[in-house]
Structure 1
Amino acid sequence: MSVPVDQLSEPTVRAFVTAVNAGDKAAFEALLTPGVTMSDDGSDRNVAEWTDKEIFSSGGHMDVESASDDGLALVVDYRNETWGSMRTAWRFVVDGGKVSRFETGQA
């Protein structure tokens, strides 16, 4: 059973998921701090290249299974046209209403 996006308790994370699911790159980028960092399966990646490839050019979509740590940690059924569907964990660092770091990997 999934958690409706509008019920995610952390507003910046809720906006992040909403932007990903809408394919709204401008809204997504507006949620990130200058110098935002991210990792995928423990390896730091270039945020712009990774998000273009894994989210925006491949129809990325997040179905949230659960949220914890005051809404900063999610377990997500993530799917895109490249990899299909996979169970992933996401962790967010939010600073001043923007994401300064996010980490994802297989859950």
Structure 2
Amino acid sequence: MLGIVTLHDFLITPDGQTQMHPQQEMLPVSSIMTTQVLTTQEDQAIADLVQPLSDGGLHHLPVLNHQAQLVGMLTQSDLIAALYRAGLKYAGAGKSH
């Protein structure tokens, strides 16, 4: 993975201002992309991703396989849904039938 382009990359100009660059539509993607990309592995434990996707300020994490190929994108919403489902499963396991 060479980089990622996020909404933040579109809104921050080279001098740190929060407005679109007047000629931004003509710039190559490589000129605005973030190259220091935090990624996760496809077999990473969900609990390990809570910190970067909450306190870490990230909204999404590219998911790589063991050959360093992009296989997906994990979002904050995906994480919340997975934790919610796990909580329901855990709560249901404690109920007697």
Tell me the TM-score normalised to structure 2 length: 0.25
Higher strand share: 1
Larger gyration radius, structure 1 or structure 2: 2
Higher helix share: 2
Tell me the TM-score normalised to structure 1 length: 0.24
